[in-house]
Amino acid sequence: MDKLKILLYSFELTKHKFLSSRFRSLCLIYAGFAWVSISSIRTFIEAKNYPISPYIYPIMAINIKFRMIIGFCCVYLFSDVPFLQYSEMYSLVRMGRLKWALAQILSIFETAFMFCLYMCIVPVVLCIPNIELTGEWGKIIHTLSLTNVSGLYSIDIYVPYGVLVRLEPMEAMLLAFGLSTLLISFFGIFMFAVSLIFKRNIAVVAASVVIVWSVAVYNMYLIPKGIFSNYAPVLWLDISQIGQLFYGIKRFPDLKYILLSFLLMISVSALAVIWAIRSRDLEWINED
């Protein structure tokens, strides 16, 4: 019964997040960025009068600027941590600190899942009616990978041919979706923990540092990049680089390492939340 109450309350929290002005603003910000990112692809599609397959998100996630934007979307999405608005006071007292915190953690996972679903759908919607419902990568994506059309149409999105060879389109979509969900969940729980132990501002700064650090690692030379990419989670969304070798040097960690690392980081952050909610004095915030 207690588990059901926690689950139901987490659904209520997630619903409240979806209806918040913060979430609506975030959806508009992401849609605007996606519109700008794929505008050149839409121009190419219209020029060739040929539809694109719906597997756009995994290709967009290869771009470092897109991954950086996803990271800062995470920070904005959870910038209301530690969720101690006065409207939550009654629920916390009624449920108890531990159950309330567990419901918040579950809500973070649910919010991450739904926002990732939104991120995958938006690029497809923006390309309607030039969408081809197929199980293949499609002619457009293959053309972007095998020719210099990206330069001719000023297309920022790079499509490595190796991805098209190694992964089926649905595999790539599920992999990018899963890793994005884990990344957003980690940021949410990490920020929740830091805000409980310290302050909200410190949580926002700490998450931003993780993003900036990941971008800095991306711009490093090959050998240090191969070392430090193991500690730069924003980079792990690039499905084209996972476990790949460059002149015999591994540039990015393999999938097993990434999944175990996300599991460890999320678990440690969740344990920190449980410790903090039990032992720290709570500071309530007067905002909606």
- Mean pLDDT lowest among 57-71, 93-107, 195-209, 244-258: 244-258
Contacts of 286 (CB under 8 A, 6+ apart): 85, 86
How much is the mean pLDDT over the chain? 87
Binned at pLDDT 50, 70 and 90, residue 44 comes out as confident
Q: Is the pLDDT of residue 211 over 90?
A: yes
State pTM to two decimals.
Answer: 0.91
Q: Give the pLDDT score at 122.
A: 95
Query: Tell me: the pLDDT tens digits for 141-159?
Result: 888 888 877 777 777 777 8
Q: Give the pLDDT score at 240.
A: 86
Residue with tokens 């030379």: 221
Q: Give the pLDDT score at 175.
A: 95
Whole-angstrom Cα distance, residue 102 to residue 117?
23
Q: Is the pLDDT of residue 243 over 80?
A: no
Encode burial over 257-277: b for 16+ CB neighbours within 10 A, e otherwise. ebeebbeebbeebbebbbebb
Q: Give the pLDDT score at 68.
A: 92
Residues 70-84: what's their mean pLDDT?
85
Q: Give the pLDDT score at 71.
A: 92
Residues 200-208: what's their mean pLDDT?
93
What amino acid is encoded at 170 in this protein? M
* C-alpha closest to that of 6 among 126, 92, 69, 75: 92
Q: Is the pLDDT of residue 278 over 80?
A: yes
